[in-house]
Structure 1
Amino acid sequence: MICYYFAQSQLRTSLVSELKKSVNGKLSIEDLEVPDSGSLIHRASNSLVADHLRSCKYDYTYSVFLPECGIDKAKVIFIAK
């Protein structure tokens, strides 16, 4: 089991280093252009992800995603199936 966590850690480290190489300049939170959280496209994108998580019954991930993206259950746009 320890080898599993060690491998995950190594993969994460190599992924981050490859991403840093592909980005010109520093990779920091200040460099990101974050869209306005109230915009329709931002809300629709978050709603698509939330709907997918809910429909696949990823309850824990769904419960973590909503507060992280700054929306509550009442503001999620669910897609009728």
Structure 2
Amino acid sequence: MCGFGRVGTQAAGRLRAHGFDVVVVDTSKERVERARREGVPHCRGEPHRPSDAGACGCGQGQVRGGFVQTRTRPTCT
């Protein structure tokens, strides 16, 4: 999940409610902290950077499924 603002939080909640695992990647320290408090796996960084995405396991065979971008001006590519 790229972004854990209002839309990302709602999307993550719905996905988790249907049994999907979600990993949040966000640049905001506050949003990453909220994800931690809510028990959502997370990391702080830009998901388009291999080093940041790799910190969450993205691109290492650990991620199956989709990709959700929640920014109106995406930095995710």
Establish whether TM, by shorter chain, passes 0.5: no
Higher relative contact order (CA 8 A, sep 6+): 2
